[in-house]
A and B are shown apart, each in its own frame.
Chain A
């Protein structure tokens, strides 16, 4: 067994003191329904950095940190954003939901199970971003057709799967929800309105 090793960023906090030459501050964020204090943070830090390195929430990933890959997708006041393109301080007063918080939602858990069962997870680095993106798509347009699904997920890069098993997972979740929707008579969008 290894010696006393590192924890993940899930443990609290980051470096205790930020660089002295940059402005540091203390502010509060509302993350996954909980009020969190960010201490002595450089104001130039992205929301992604603050989540990962200061608040112990490494689920949002850092594949490109320039808004191209979608691996850092979070919900900011219910809108999907790349956390790497938002300053931490710009999220003050907003509700931030990350993959860690969303995992408590039964609908999200269904998507997560679908991804695993369909083979939509390989290295897994893109996976949290896809979970957030698929969840956002299906709650807006539950019956999105395949092209609408592809368009909605085209901001999320995956280098391992070629997307085939991810699309299969989305289809499975849609089918399973269509069955339960049939029983309660509700209607869903088809993605035509996008």
Chain B
């Protein structure tokens, strides 16, 4: 990318390898640029006369704001503007679902790190100094940080403390089993920890609006929230997707977007803002912590009779996507098993903890720790093999979920279980092996004689795309024209956010597959020339944007056939489309796509909606979901119980993908998702005490490194999903769901300890060891 290209990030991404079709593994079209440092991420943008933005955030968890004095900040040389709640021109709040979150706190602080003001200055250091110089007079309040207490406490927000209370009643509520097992489980707060920090560049426009270059998961929903708070019509807020350095759900909500646009409009100059890592931890929502109680009933033979569960997720101070998260948690509380009777109660609660929202696998991740621990407990009570118990109760096509929904699609639960179980196990721990291969790694703290091996298993399910009646759609436009050299060029316009998942590769594969056109160009995603594509989340873009493209291709293919038929003066039904040519069946004559495009280009636009889903009724019953993905994971761990150290040795998995459109990319999703699952299992947690975030840095929030990652043995099950393009389900989330619970099961196997909380901290193991051995 060069400066004189004028449009900077608007450079088109091309990938023109003939033969790179559906089922192949062509390389990413943006890969080479990324390796050379030439790909423009949102933090790489730059403009003449640009200012730097910085946010001031509350050091308090809960407080009243008595006053804000911005004068000391404005007195600092190089400071051009300070904005606060008083300066928000339009709606003072924003939110993905309901606008319940202030753009800037005005009277009340509800969480540690809530924005109070933002500054624009000539230099980032001046902006930092200015933010620090703003004087805010806080009156600290006692925060409400326990979700169980918050349920009963006086409201900390006008909308109340209960975001959603959801009950699922299915079958006979008083049914009981011969064998009953019960347990309490807990999951901590995980961070998406995408590497590219929140960042963007806002440029004031002549029409009074603003052009925003931004890393996000959903351009159009950002735009609508920004426009509402700026008080300008949506069409004057133009968003262009800047390079996105990972997302994992953490860019679904607005972070700096509105602040940045306000500063640009206030100063009349371009403003860039880049969160430092500590601010990133405060600047986006996290994975909901959860507390779960479960009681499973089964017959003597091992058939599940009833599942009872109570699930409480801590949504933190503002709603974000908590309603959908608790819905997933409740719907999938039993896991991928046939459960004739169920009573599930789910609560999403508001507290003064950091706001929580979307992260890879949301809702399904938390409950999987519960239902899989329960399945192991049940297997032990029944003296059954845990894998056998799962196979026995595995969902099949035409089974019902506890929501009453009948599974009409591909349900290869047994296949994923068998695939995960059939991978070879690793060799036993080698006392003479390198110390780096032991628990504790390079610290060499574990003695070889103390290491215990364990194996655990877990299975999971999750919905694809949006549920509960949400009108989920993608708008895509496809243009076919003859290029200057006579070759056909297909241009795709779709606002789908490429966040690293590889949609840019798939889009070109789909167009090549459908039209036989080698040269496929993706127009830069924006809100300007195409409608919404929805979010790059819920494993939905392969199905949704892929489906929209497939439909657009089919339309243009039909139009090409009509053009050929007109030239041949025959019926269109006598012409076939064959790999980039139209063939006249009777004579075998052929016309190529470029030939047919010579008179005029072709263009079509489609809005692709998935089959409607329905709201859950008062008993939590209804066809709320479009489709489901299943996965199984087997984990092998080595544990030093005395020191509480764990090393994950191997993960084997079977995953239901429908169809692997790009097998290398599917592999990358599986391995990357497993890494996040392992992270949640043994190391990743935002530590929050009395509402204070204690570890907002990569020094203290631990991410798996290449030394922590085991080998991943993966098998994909390709049973086509009816109604999905090429039968392909999503692949992004399942690897993150049951990999972590499999690791906890393996730790239980190695130690014999209950291990009911993720992440498993060294003290959780070592203190149990101490109690049991003393």
Q: Which residues of A contact B (CB under 8 A)?
A: 1-12, 14-15, 17-22, 42, 44-45, 49, 52-53, 56-66, 68-69, 71, 98-100, 103, 111-113, 115-119, 121-128, 131, 147, 150-151, 153-167
Residue on A nearest B213 in the bound complex, by CB: A6
Q: Which residues of B contact A (CB under 8 A)?
A: 1-3, 5-10, 25, 27-28, 30-41, 43-47, 50-52, 76-78, 121-126, 129, 192-197, 201, 203, 205, 211, 213, 238, 240, 243-248, 270, 274, 276-277, 434, 436-437, 442, 499-502, 524, 526, 528-529, 664-665, 667-668, 670-676, 697-699, 703-707, 709, 711-712
On whether the beta carbons of A165 and B46 are closer than 8 Å, the reply is no
On whether the beta carbons of A112 and B32 are closer than 8 Å, the reply is yes
A-B pair number, CB within 8 angstroms: 278
Residue on B nearest A44 in the bound complex, by CB: B125
On whether the beta carbons of B44 and A165 are closer than 8 Å, the reply is no
Q: How far is the CB of B168 from chain A (nearest CB, A)?
A: 34
Q: Which of A11, A49, A123, A163 contacts B709 (CB 8 A)?
A: A163
Known: A8-B1, A42-B123, A103-B36. A63 touches B277 (CB 8 A): yes
**What residues of chain A lie closer than 8 Å to B192, measured between beta carbons?**
159
Q: Which of B31, B244, B248 contacts A159 (CB 8 A)?
A: B248
Residue on B nearest A98 in the bound complex, by CB: B37
Complex CA gap A163/B697 in Å reads 21
Complex CA gap A154/B705 in Å reads 6
Q: Which of B3, B205, B270 contacts A10 (CB 8 A)?
A: B3
Interface core residue of A42, A99, A119 (most chain B CB under 10 Å): A119
Known: A62-B197, A112-B35. A160 touches B6 (CB 8 A): no
Q: Which of B124, B277, B675, B697 contacts A162 (CB 8 A)?
A: B675
Q: How far is the CB of A116 from chain B (nearest CB, A)?
A: 4
Residue on B nearest A60 in the bound complex, by CB: B37
Complex CA gap A44/B126 in Å reads 12
Residue on A nearest B675 in the bound complex, by CB: A162
Q: Which of B36, B51, B270 contacts A112 (CB 8 A)?
A: B36
On whether the beta carbons of A19 and B77 are closer than 8 Å, the reply is yes
On whether the beta carbons of A69 and B125 are closer than 8 Å, the reply is no
On whether the beta carbons of B709 and A116 are closer than 8 Å, the reply is no
Known: A10-B2, A63-B245, A112-B32. A160 touches B500 (CB 8 A): yes
Residue on A nearest B662 in the bound complex, by CB: A119
On whether the beta carbons of B706 and A116 are closer than 8 Å, the reply is no
Complex CA gap A122/B29 in Å reads 11
**What residues of chain B lie closer than 8 Å to A45, measured between beta carbons?**
125
Interface core residue of A44, A60, A100, A117 (most chain B CB under 10 Å): A117
**What residues of chain B lie closer than 8 Å to A61, measured between beta carbons?**
37, 41, 43, 195-196, 245
Q: How far is the CB of A100 from chain B (nearest CB, A)?
A: 5
Known: A122-B672, A123-B500, A159-B194. A6 touches B32 (CB 8 A): no
Q: How far is the CB of B737 from chain A (nearest CB, A)?
A: 15
**What residues of chain B lie closer than 8 Å to A125, measured between beta carbons?**
41, 194-196, 245-246
**What residues of chain B lie closer than 8 Å to A10, measured between beta carbons?**
1-3, 38, 46
Ordered by A's residue number, 12 sampled pairs between the chains whose C-beta atoms are within 8 Å are A1-B10, A8-B9, A17-B78, A63-B197, A66-B699, A124-B31, A150-B707, A156-B706, A159-B675, A159-B703, A162-B671, A167-B706
Q: Which of A2, A119, A166 contacts B526 (CB 8 A)?
A: A2
On whether the beta carbons of B122 and A65 are closer than 8 Å, the reply is no
**What residues of chain B lie closer than 8 Å to A166, measured between beta carbons?**
706
**What residues of chain B lie closer than 8 Å to A57, measured between beta carbons?**
37
Q: Which of B7, B36, B238, B277 contacts A65 (CB 8 A)?
A: B277
Known: A2-B238, A162-B671, A165-B668. A147 touches B437 (CB 8 A): yes
On whether the beta carbons of B706 and A121 are closer than 8 Å, the reply is no
On whether the beta carbons of A122 and B46 are closer than 8 Å, the reply is no
Q: How far is the CB of B504 from chain A (nearest CB, A)?
A: 11
On whether the beta carbons of A115 and B44 are closer than 8 Å, the reply is no
Q: Which of A6, A161, A163 contacts B46 (CB 8 A)?
A: A6
On whether the beta carbons of A66 and B27 are closer than 8 Å, the reply is no
Complex CA gap A71/B43 in Å reads 13
- Known pairs A15-B50, A161-B671. 15 more at Cβ < 8 A? A1-B7, A2-B10, A4-B7, A5-B7, A5-B211, A9-B45, A19-B78, A58-B40, A58-B43, A61-B43, A100-B36, A119-B668, A123-B247, A160-B246, A163-B706
Complex CA gap A15/B674 in Å reads 42
**What residues of chain A lie closer than 8 Å to B675, measured between beta carbons?**
159, 161-163
**What residues of chain B lie closer than 8 Å to A122, measured between beta carbons?**
246, 500-502, 668, 672
**What residues of chain A lie closer than 8 Å to B34, measured between beta carbons?**
121, 124, 127-128
**What residues of chain A lie closer than 8 Å to B437, measured between beta carbons?**
147
Known: A19-B78, A68-B699. A6 touches B706 (CB 8 A): no
Q: How far is the CB of B222 from chain A (nearest CB, A)?
A: 16
**What residues of chain A lie closer than 8 Å to B7, measured between beta carbons?**
1-2, 4-5
Complex CA gap A22/B8 in Å reads 32
Q: How far is the CB of B713 from chain A (nearest CB, A)?
A: 10
Known: A125-B195, A151-B436. A6 touches B47 (CB 8 A): yes
Interface core residue of A3, A60, A165 (most chain B CB under 10 Å): A3
Q: How far is the CB of B683 from chain A (nearest CB, A)?
A: 12
On whether the beta carbons of A121 and B197 are closer than 8 Å, the reply is no
Q: How far is the CB of A87 from chain B (nearest CB, A)?
A: 13
**What residues of chain B lie closer than 8 Å to A159, measured between beta carbons?**
192-195, 246, 248, 672, 675-676, 703
Q: How far is the CB of B673 from chain A (nearest CB, A)?
A: 7
On whether the beta carbons of A124 and B500 are closer than 8 Å, the reply is yes
Complex CA gap A20/B703 in Å reads 39
Complex CA gap A58/B2 in Å reads 12
Q: How far is the CB of B123 from chain A (nearest CB, A)?
A: 5
Q: How far is the CB of A173 from chain B (nearest CB, A)?
A: 12
CB-based closest 7 A-B pairs: A59-B37, A123-B500, A124-B34, A125-B245, A11-B3, A162-B671, A162-B675
**What residues of chain A lie closer than 8 Å to B36, measured between beta carbons?**
59, 99-100, 103, 112, 128
On whether the beta carbons of A128 and B35 are closer than 8 Å, the reply is yes
Q: Which of B3, B194, B270, B526 contacts A123 (CB 8 A)?
A: B194
On whether the beta carbons of B203 and A6 are closer than 8 Å, the reply is yes
**What residues of chain A lie closer than 8 Å to B706, measured between beta carbons?**
150, 153-154, 156, 158, 163, 166-167
Interface core residue of A52, A99, A163, A167 (most chain B CB under 10 Å): A163
Known: A9-B46, A61-B195. A123 touches B664 (CB 8 A): no
